[in-house]
Structure 1
């Protein structure tokens, strides 16, 4: 009884320490993640004979030992339990990450076959290396058992994934493309090109940093996923090891992008300092890698965890400070950090190999890139809106400056015109005085010689009235340019009648019917001469157009109305109206439809200045059924009597 128990315990102990046995018991073989043993050769130069006597540790075919070791031996047994001879294909599915692989096939401790694939020196048979995989073909007779040794050598991190296939499944494995990686890299590359074009057209650095982040991510993903090995037969020689340094640019450019997109130097100084430390660490790791790639990659695996933590703290801090885009950035960063951490832990030897764990970082980069594109688009819209507002403000300032310049020019022009009118007045005074003196002499001569004639006396009276008007007009113009104009109380009806009298004296009536509609007296306190001048200009213009167009039954109608705030004077005619195309130009200086001998185009312009600047009113021209109306509207400052 005790003997049987002892033998059972010995059997169990031996089975626990025995080399793992993989049994082939069916025609189809597609075996992943099977049990094996591993031994770390710290000297990197132990032979197969020396290894067979070493103590191996239990492991699995998807194995990661981090970047502490360079050379690892694997061992397992294969037994064909079927009734047929079998050909087994052993795949190293991460061969593109490996510097050198040695396969050894033994039976009863006797070496049968050896295959060495040396990527460092490009010494390998292309029939045994395809895309990402290295192959070792094993033949097993029925019930035959063989022991397989594999030496896996890498100068950076010890990661491996070995699988067993029959011939059909081996071909299926080699014929399959990693569609996910191709699509992911294609999407990131398209985003990078698109945002590079945007940068070249706008020069926003946000686009540049995002493009560089995507570009470095594409290069890193293409290398780590095996896409370069599949499409370009890119394997690890010593020169190719420097390609790993592209990993350093991913955290550098994502940090620069984050700093710029949230304007951190101005808005978030503490968070900005934290991201600066991330940039500094990975820049240092890159510089170290130029001399020692192994040390650089070892440091990078530690710095990446620091980067994850820093970006998360930054995103959370901005979210708590109510930054509008911080929540989306926090989600994007959480995806990237969580997924990439899984891959990083695999490379550190903490997690075992699985397809998801191995590609998790690529998934995180893709999700983050899409969310960052949304953040970037929103940020640029805000930036463009801000720049548009600044441009509009600048335009407004320019317009204000131009208005000031225009006002200054107008003031200077008014001063010049005032000086000119003063000179004209001085020149006109003497001739007008002489005309009046001549009128008095003629009148006195006629009286002394008893030659009085009603017609002559009337003409002499008209001449005197005209000279008085001319003198008054000169005074009006002088007052117009005088900043200290004299305001008086006057009746609007009297102003209209005086304007008619002067207009009739200076321009023939041609039987024009003038109708005045005024009920009562309208008192006003203001610039009497200037308002009278405006009315004379409007009356003369109306008479001219009626005569020139030969209108039958020509009529000029004048109205005065008021409400609680304004007086309204209307001067209308039945001359057919103003051409609509000219309506917006009639108040412009020097615009006229008359011949240059008949007008200067300043009448309505001066009228507009008088009404709007000196009387704080409005003047406008409108067409009615049979003619045009000029409406003068100005504030009521004296009650109706």
Structure 2
């Protein structure tokens, strides 16, 4: 019976102090405790009414629905030691608020009060230390005080309260925001790198991607407290960085249009992407009139843009576009992380490290996947610039560069062989069978040479005229190789009854350059071209070296 009585007394004592933080010594590092909150709507509570009101219990880290922007928070602190305790109450997300009021009470009597208006920058602004407001408190032995915090947020309502001594306060403030700073640092480096690539290569894909990154960074630096913590920027000046959030998706749509070349190849998808740009630009302009309303409705435009990206990705994937899978992967990763963030901002998920930074993680992962997409796209562009679209052979503009590279690379025991050949009587073939059939002949021949002689680089010089570059041990080996190539074309047995041999053939002019005796390329080209014409003069389907 005595045990049950003791348990009941202890339980009642604990219940009496529910929501109270108990301090037992002067080392204070309390990061998890119970608070109460009160929505200041539809009734607007004065401090006297709030003292008498019933508060909803909650943890000291909390996110509330976006329509609950005006709230009261209450908790008590009791000194259970036999000495005076001085410590600090932190609100870690103070920088995001519009107005904050602090009240210190004992037994319902107001002992002290503070007021900060971050938009007007009036009141007790000295309480602001970076992202945190830090309220110093003192408690005598056995004393209990109740603290009321009233704050109004312009957009979202989430908060974190901590109770720390001076040493832990210093540690908290000095290590604040390291993770978002690292993310921003990576994005800045990526943006600068792509700006430099744009200025050197002039590909607009680099520009749009860089501007997308810069817009995301602008939003990051205030949303995650970097501007306030390191640069002392609060209030409306800080919230204006949300224009970065509004503009980031515009540049992302421009990037997607350019990378996927929708304006050139996919008119319906291009129209859908254009619609996202128009809506987002209109919302950006509306932000000049009603900034916070534009932020509120922007979520619907973002959802629409994501839906468009998904539709474009899936539709182009069905059409065989090889790049769009990277866009789809980027969007899937972003949506996965952003979903946690949206549910957090709307009060459906608890406040923790993961939910707090989920959107930042999602944007960063998306940015790196898009960077890979961009590099792959530029690689394909480079291939397009270097190769002939019909045959897949290298084009004429790359011939000189590859010749110089090969001439420097060959060893003393090798020779570089340069060959020019063209298809015999190709004009007659085109006139007889039509240009589409002639194109097919060129593709068959070049694809066959590329597969049978992979060590040789094939270049299309124009029309039916091509060039080859390869190495050989000596002139005799080069002669055999060129002859093998000539026979390979003849043995394809591509019917051409009107020709002298009854099948498609080619004539070859070749030059062998020994190591260390590299001559002027223009002279070499003219000499080899002259040998080609000599081969034609000799009756075609032969080699002159």
Higher relative contact order (CA 8 A, sep 6+): 2
Partner of 1:92: 91
CA gap 1:348/1:302 in 2 versus in 1, 3 angstroms? farther
Relative distance call for 1:610 and 1:260 in structure 2 (3 A) is: closer
Which aligned pairs between 1:416-427 and structure 2 lie closer than 5 A?
Answer: none
**1:17-166 alignment, distance < 5 Å:** 20-42=19-41, 46-125=45-124, 127-166=126-165
CA distance in structure 2 between the aligned counterparts of 1:359 and 1:110, rounded to whole angstroms: 39
TM-superposed deviation, 1:372: 1.3
Q: Within 5 Å, give how 1:602-621 maps onto structure 2.
A: 613=537
Tell me the CA shift for residue 614 of structure 1.
8.4
Check 1:159–1:293 CA distance in 2 against 1; reply closer, same or farther (3 A cut).
farther
Aligned to 2:347, the other structure's residue is in SS state: coil
| Contact 2:534-2:544 within 8 A present in 1 as well | no
Residue 395 of structure 1: CA displacement? 6.8
Relative distance call for 1:19 and 1:56 in structure 2 (3 A) is farther
For 1:259-296, what per-residue CA distance to the aligned partner results, in whole angstroms no more than 9, with x for missing partners? 22122334445544443343333323222221112211
Distance 2:306 2:246 in 1: 14
Could you tell me which runs of 5 or more consecutive residues in structure 1 were left unpaired when the two chains were aligned.
Answer: 401-580, 590-604, 622-641
SS at match of 1:194: helix
Cα deviation code 1:64-93 (max 9, x no counterpart): 223313321111111122333212311111
Deviation at 1:613, TM superposition (A): 3.9
Residue 312 of structure 1 deviates from its aligned partner by 3.9
- Pair 269,170 (structure 1): closer, same or farther in 2 beyond 3 Å: same
Contact 1:19 1:75 in 2 (8 A): no
What whole-Å deviation, never above 9, does each CA across 1:500-530 have from its counterpart, x for those lacking one?
xxxxxxxxxxxxxxxxxxxxxxxxxxxxxxx
Over 3 Å counting, the alpha-carbon distance change for 1:40 and 1:177 in structure 2 is: closer
TM-score by length of structure 1 reads: 0.57
The 3 A distance-change label for structure 1 pair 29 and 320 is farther
Secondary structure of 2:35's counterpart equals strand
* Equivalent position to 1:370, from 365, 368, 371: 368
Question: Structure 1 residue 352: deviation in Å?
Answer: 2.4
Secondary structure of residue in 2 paired with 1:52? helix
Label 1:609 to 1:200 Cα distance change in 2 as closer, same or farther (>3 A).
Answer: closer
The unaligned stretches of length 5 or more in structure 2 are: 399-419, 421-518
Partner residue in 1 for 2:498: none
- Shift, 1:211, TM fit: 0.5
1:325 deviates by 3.0
TM value normalised by structure 2: 0.67
Distance 2:544 2:148 in 1: 104
1:612–1:150 distance in 2 versus 1, CA, 3 Å: closer
Q: Which moved more, 1:208-217 or 1:283-292?
A: 283-292
Deviation string 1:237-266 (CA, Å, 9 cap, x unpaired) is 3x5433222211122222221222122334
Provide the residue aligned with 2:234 in structure 1.
Answer: 235
Q: What residue number does 2:186 align with?
A: 187
> Take 2:541 and 2:135, find their aligned partners in 1: how far apart are those partners?
102
Match of 1:379 among 377, 380, 396: 377
**Counterpart of 2:386?**
388
In 2: Cα distance, 1:340 partner to 1:216 partner = 17
Query: Does the alignment pair 1:341 with 2:307?
Result: no
Please tell me whether the aligned partners of residues 101 and 152 of structure 1 are also in contact (alpha carbons under 8 angstroms): yes
Pair 1:289–1:67, CA change in 2 (3 A):
farther
Q: Any conservation in 1 of the 2:227–2:238 contact (CA below 8 Å)? A: no
Tell me the SS of whatever aligns to 2:351. Answer: coil
Residue in 2 aligned with 1:330?
A: 328
Does the CA-based 8 Å contact 1:301-1:344 persist in structure 2? Answer: no
> 3-state DSSP class of the match of 1:103?
strand
**Distance of 2:194 and 2:314 partners within structure 1:** 27
Question: Match of 2:258?
Answer: 260
* Number of the residue aligned with 1:286: 284
1:355 to 353, 370, 380: 353
1:591-628 CA-partner distances (Å, limit 9, x unpaired): xxxxxxxxxxxxxx9xx99996487799989xxxxxxx
Does the 8 Å CA contact 1:305/1:341 hold for their aligned counterparts? Answer: no
**Structure 1 residues 170, 44: closer, same or farther in 2, change over 3 A?**
farther
- Tell me by how many angstroms 1:162 deviates: 1.6
The equivalent position to 1:246 in structure 2, one of 244, 254, 268, is 244
SS of 1:324 mapped into structure 2: coil
> What is the alpha-carbon root mean square deviation over aligned residues?
3.8
CA drift at 1:389 = 2.7
Cα deviation, residue 129, structure 1: 1.3
Deviates more, 1:86-95 or 1:52-61: 52-61
